[in-house]
Amino acid sequence: MIRWLLALAVLLIASPALADELRPVSIQLEQVDEARWNLGWRQPLASPQADRTARPDLPEVCEFSGEPVLDNSALAVVGRADVTCKEDIAGSRIGWPALFGQGDAILRVAPLDRPVQVYRLTAQEPYAEVEARPSSLQVWRGYFVIGVEHILAGWDHLLFVIALVLLVGRTWPVIKATTAFTVAHSITLAATTLGVTGLPQRPVEALIALSIVFLAVEIARGTKETITRRLPWVVAFAFGLLHGFGFAGALREIGLPEGEVPAALVSFNLGVEAGQLLVIALVLLVLAVIRRVRAGAEAPALRIASYAIGITGAYWLVDRVIG
């Protein structure tokens, strides 16, 4: 078991760039009148040297009215174009064929006379067929999956949840602490998404990394009495408010479908909670196995985990402050 934990520590330390890696391609097609549509897309790039020539594949009944306008930055391409469609696009396919190695894409189609449609594109299924009568569950399903993927792929939020469970250790206190964390980040996620409040994303990301380092230090202190050990739900709530701003930043990158903001927001949050509950259950299971298999192994295992989590969080903190 100790060997497995050491391997995990090496993996965490060697893979700091995985933090907050949910940055899908975002595509939006909005109808202006019977024939004209506005097309926009945002393509995150893994490096400044990445391919910048990709563009959405239009429905077969549509064509570009002119050359697309591209705004290039170091790690993203933002494009926009006018599109003319000679007939209804219902039943036609639209997608992003260059998805291999880029993660997912979120496609929003907004016809004038029908509800907004939201599709999640993957490397295996890079196209979606525009529906004549979209299901009312489409937005709920799409943003729920995005929420699950965000908590499981966004390593900084994931590592905070893992550290919180390792610190508290027991089922009932873990339930109270994670409930406080959930309530807190739901508040700031909703408030930021709806425009009530907000914080700059770079300081938020640095403070999220700092929260991970803080919990790692608390774990390494063992059984020493601290406010975090006495009132873990208070600390979880305080940091949850901060992490909510981080979730909102990720959701802002993806975008929300106009007219479906409440449904997208709630389903994204439910997806985050589903992924979070899965992680909590797995960590509690690992702790139970360690206690059962080898008496006295829990303390050194937690110390190893705290070092791995702390080093990773410290790397992210420095990178986000000076990067």
pLDDT given for residue 124 in this prediction = 86
Which residues contact residue 277 at a Cβ distance below 8 angstroms, ignoring those fewer than 6 apart? none
Residue 63 has pLDDT above 70, yes or no: yes
pLDDT band at 255 (very low <50, low <70, confident <90, very high): low
Task: List pLDDT tens digits, range 67-119.
Answer: 899 888 777 889 999 999 999 999 999 999 887 655 678 888 888 877 778 88
Residue 16 has pLDDT above 60, yes or no: no
Task: Kindly report, residue by residue over 185-244, the tens digit of the pLDDT.
Answer: 989 988 888 888 878 888 898 999 999 999 999 988 877 777 788 888 999 999 999 998
- The pLDDT tens digits of the residues spanning 117-167 come to 888 888 888 999 988 776 667 778 878 888 887 787 778 888 999 999 998
Q: Which residues pair with 121 in a beta bridge?
A: 105
- Token pair belonging to 12: 């965490």
pLDDT tens digit sequence for 287-304:
888 888 877 788 888 888
- Predicted confidence (pLDDT) at residue 249 exceeds the cutoff of 50: yes
State residue 146's pLDDT score.
80
Mean per-residue pLDDT, 253-277: 79
The rounded distance, in Å, linking the Cα atoms of 290 and 292 is 5
CB atoms within 10 A of CB 169: 17
Is 10 a residue whose pLDDT tops 50?
A: no
